[in-house]
Chain A
Amino acid sequence: MTRTISVGVDLKQQLKARAAHFRERMAAQGTLVVNLVSSPGAGKTQLLERTAVALGEHLSLAVLVGDLATNRDAERLAPYVPVRQLTTGGACHLEIPLVEAGFEQLENQRPDILFIENVGNLVCPASHDLGEHMRVVLLSVTEGDDKPGKYPKMYRTSDALVISKIDLLPYVPFDVSFAEQDARTIQPDLKTLSVSAVTGAGLDDWCQFLMQAHEQLKHGNATSHCN
């Protein structure tokens, strides 16, 4: 005899619940969690190096940095900020269990801001909630201004777009307003910023944006499009 069992559950329910729990736990202790996503080489690590120096005077910071292999990014960041490398052993994105485990190994477990530098990839990290309060996507000007529309899920689930390497704008055909407009077609609420981690242009605005987001979190106003 056959019978049908009704289920109706999300296949990623457990991971989503863990991410939601991590987000609540971090908010309760006043830690803003920022998930930095981009294609490889968009400048996430260099932006974090500069951010750690500039923002480190005002807020306590910590970083979890994801890569398939090597500790190179953690070694770069270690002089500036408590950091743990998360090596995925081949996986192209981070998942919440890796973040939870890495967080437990951090020296500073009550930072004002915890940055998670995701594995460079504009596809898979879009589908994985890491318990962040804010997802920030970097788009470097050398990648081309037509990228947002090609990766709709990443842009739809992001809260802010940082156009990076703007010191190279004179040398590449990249229209900043086109890229911003393309991204806003997918996510109209997207906050947009432009930075050069080499010259420091836009870095003050970026740091102000982070400080405001941290203030909002402390007052219970954090919103995110990633979950």
Chain B
Amino acid sequence: MHEYSLVRSLLRQVETIVSDEGGGVVEEVRIEVGAFSGVDITLLELAFADEASRHLGYQPRLQTTAVPLEVECQRCRSRSVIEDFEFRCSECGHQQVIIVSGEEVRLMEIEIRELNNAS
């Protein structure tokens, strides 16, 4: 997919949220990347290393957590992790499954160092 444009969108959202929260220096950005999101984590990290300092003027850390592609069986309701893109329930073998996670890229948390306005 388009890791650079996704990172630029991520940084814009981080800036807006931090500004809404009263400002601060971003120390770490934590995201979740689904196995079926079409986003490659290594490329995303490279894009973040390239783009963050250009955008913010400094380089925060990026913590990525890989989220497996998980489905729920429409027959027995068990959940299975799909690793080979063969969409099938691992319990009963049924093919009618719906994706419950692994498709999204989510901004989860932003760690900021607050600017000291009291002094």
Contacts and interface: CB of A to CB of B under 8 A. Distances in A.
Give the dominant DSSP class at B's interface.
Answer: mixed
Nearest to B94: A188
A149 B112 CA distance: 43
B108 A7 contact: yes
A8 B106 contact: yes
What is the size category of the interface that chain A forms with chain B?
20 to 34
B37 A127 contact: yes
A123 B38 CA distance: 8
A123 B96 CA distance: 24
A5 B17 contact: yes
Contact of B85 (A1, A3, A6, A186): A186
Interface stretch (A9-17, A159-167, A168-176): A9-17
Contact of B38 (A6, A127, A186, A187): A127
A188 B85 CA distance: 12
Contacts of B106: 7-11
A149 B95 CA distance: 15
A189 B97 CA distance: 10
Contacts of A127: 1, 37-38
B91 interface: no
Contact of B109 (A7, A184, A187, A188): A7
Contacts of B9: 11-12
What is the size category of the interface that chain B forms with chain A?
20 to 34
Contacts of A156: 36, 85, 87, 99
B87 A2 contact: no
B62 interface: no
Given A3-B112, A5-B18, A149 B104 contact: no
Interface in B82-112: 85-88, 95-96, 99, 104-112
B13 interface: yes
Contacts of A187: 87
B113 A1 contact: yes
A103 B86 CA distance: 37
B38 A153 contact: yes
Contacts of B86: 185-186
A156 B95 CA distance: 12
A186 B86 CA distance: 6
A30 interface: no
Ranked nearest first, the 5 interchain pairs of A and B with the lowest CB-CB distance are A152-B85, A127-B38, A188-B95, A5-B110, A11-B105
Given A12-B105, A156-B99, A185-B95, 7 more contacts: A2-B114, A7-B108, A11-B107, A126-B38, A127-B1, A153-B38, A186-B85
28 contacts: A2-B113, A3-B114, A4-B111, A4-B112, A5-B17, A5-B110, A6-B109, A7-B110, A9-B13, A10-B105, A11-B6, A11-B104, A11-B105, A11-B107, A123-B1, A124-B1, A124-B2, A126-B38, A127-B38, A149-B85, A153-B36, A153-B38, A184-B95, A185-B87, A185-B88, A186-B85, A186-B86, A187-B87
